[in-house]
Amino acid sequence: MQEVHLNINGVDVIAEKGCTILEAAAENGIKIPTLCHEDRLEPYGACRICVVEVEDARGLLPACTTVATDGMVIKTETDELKRIRSTIIELLLSDHPLDCMTCESAGSCELQDLAYEYGVKDVYFVGEKHEYEKFVDGPLIERDYNKCILCGRCVRICREVQGVGVYDLMNRGFDAVPGTPFDKPLEESSCEFCGQCISTCPTGAIITLPSAGKGREWEMEKTKTTCTYCGVGCQLYLNVKDGKVVKVTSDYALGEPNHGNLCVKGRFGYDFIHHPDRLTKPLIKKGGRFNEATWEEALDVVSKKLLDVKEKNGPDSIFVLTSARCTNEENYLLQKLTRAVIGTNNVDHCARL
C-alpha cells in the first residue's frame, strides 16, 4: 500500500494514497462532521459541514472531496471552523420544522446531533419557509420535504447502489427538492421499495411508515441478526420495544456480505414475527385434527415415519428440501442427516435456481 504522511491537528498520521482528507482522518480516529457524506456513496461535497483548514490552501476545503496529499498540514477544529459550521446549521434550521419533540427521527437525526454538538439553540435567519404536503407512498414510506436538507443522499443511493434512479433533484435554488419523475408517487415509478433512501436520510425527511409512532430510538433494544429471506446472509438490526419487533434498521458498519443494504423483504417483511397465525409449537395430527405437542414428541413421530418409509421403500424414496430461511449451519446439518443417516442424495434447496 502506498502511503501519504499528513499532520492533522498537530498529530502526524499516515493514510493510504488516494484517499480523501475525511477518510484519512477517520482512519486515524479523528472525527470530522458531515451531513451529505455516506460510506456507501461517492463523495459529494454539498453540505460544507466538513470544511477544514489546509496550510497554504486558498480558502477552506471540503474534507470529503479533497484528496489527501503528502505533507498536508490540516486543522479540523478551529474557532473559525466551529463558527462556520454553526452558521451552516443555523441556515439549514431556518427552513426546517423545529418539531424534534414529535419527529420520528428524534434521537437518530444527524442534523439534531450537530445542532447539539455546536450549541445551536436559536435561528437568526428569518425569511420564507416552505410548507410542503407530505407524500405517503403506500403503506411503507412517507416523504416530508419540509425536513429535507438537500444532502442528495437519497438520490445518490438509489442511483449508485440500487441502480434504479427513482429520485433526482427537481427545481432550482430555494425550491429544489429530491423528487420523482413528473412528481408522481413512488408506487407509480420504478421504485422497488427497498427503503435504502430511508436508511441513508440524515433527518426525518423519509421515514418508515409501519414503525411510525411505535417508539423512540432510545427506547429500542437493537439485536444484530441475519435476514431470513434468502441465502445472501444480509446483516440487520431488529429494533425491539416491549418484547416486540417494531422496525428493522441497518448500516454500513455491519460489513459483508452486503454492508447493510437490504431489499424490501429484509427491511419491511418482519410482520410475520408476531402474526397471530404463526406456528410457535409443533403440531401432530391425531384423529383428523392437529394438536399441540412438545418438540420431543414431534421429532419422535418424524423419525419413526422416516424409518418406516426407508424400511419399506428404501432410502431413495425419501426427498428432503431445505430452505433459504434457515442458516447455513442448519442447512449443512440437514443435508448431512439426509446423506449420512437416511442414506440418500435426494436433497435440494429452494434458492438453488
Domains of the chain: 3-77 (3.10.20.740), 220-278 (2.20.25.90), 283-349 (no CATH)
- The answer, yes or no, to whether the previous bond of 257 is cis (omega within 30 of 0) is yes
**pLDDT grade for 240, boundaries at 50, 70 and 90:** very high
Q: How many CA atoms lie within 13 A of 79 on its CB side?
A: 0
Q: What are 59-103's pLDDT values in tens digits? A: 999 999 999 999 999 999 999 999 999 999 999 999 999 899 999
On the question of pLDDT at 35 being above 90, the answer is: yes
Q: What are 269-314's pLDDT values in tens digits? A: 999 999 999 999 999 998 899 999 999 999 999 999 999 999 999 9
CB atoms near residue 217 (< 10 Å): 14
User: Which spans in the chain are helix H?
Assistant: 21-27, 79-93, 110-117, 153-156, 196-200, 264-268, 295-313, 328-336
On the question of pLDDT at 268 being above 80, the answer is: yes
Task: Please state the pTM of the whole predicted model.
Answer: 0.85
Average pLDDT over residues 246-267: 92
**pLDDT grade for 325, boundaries at 50, 70 and 90:** confident
On the question of pLDDT at 191 being above 70, the answer is: yes
**pLDDT grade for 256, boundaries at 50, 70 and 90:** confident
The pLDDT value recorded for residue 6 is 95
Q: Which three cell numbers stand for residue 104?
A: 420520528
Inter-residue contact 137 to 187 (CB < 8 Å): yes
Average pLDDT over residues 116-127: 89
Q: What is the mean pLDDT of the chain?
A: 93
* Cell numbers 423512540: residue: 216
* Cell numbers 419557509: residue: 129
The pLDDT value recorded for residue 232 is 83
The pLDDT value recorded for residue 352 is 72
For 143-197, give the DSSP string.
Answer: E-GGG-----HHHHIIIIISS----EEES-GGG-EEE-GGG--GGGTT-----HH
Inter-residue contact 5 to 14 (CB < 8 Å): yes
Average pLDDT over residues 150-176: 95
What share of the chain in percent tops pLDDT 70? 100
Closest CA to 30 of 72, 63, 2: 63
Q: Which three cell numbers stand for residue 320?
A: 428432503
Q: Is 309 exposed, middle or buried (0-12, 13-18, 19+ CB in 10 A)?
A: middle
Q: Which three cell numbers stand for residue 280?
A: 410457535
Closest CA to 48 of 18, 80, 89, 78: 89
What's the Rg (C-alpha) of the chain? 26
Largest CA distance in the chain: 88
N- to C-terminal Cα separation, the chain: 40
On the question of pLDDT at 205 being above 70, the answer is: yes
The pLDDT value recorded for residue 323 is 84
The pLDDT value recorded for residue 353 is 61
Q: Is 313 helix (H, G, I), strand (E, B) or coil?
A: helix
List the Cα angle 40/45/50 in 5-degree steps: 95
* Cell numbers 435440494: residue: 348
What letter would DSSP give residue 214? Answer: S
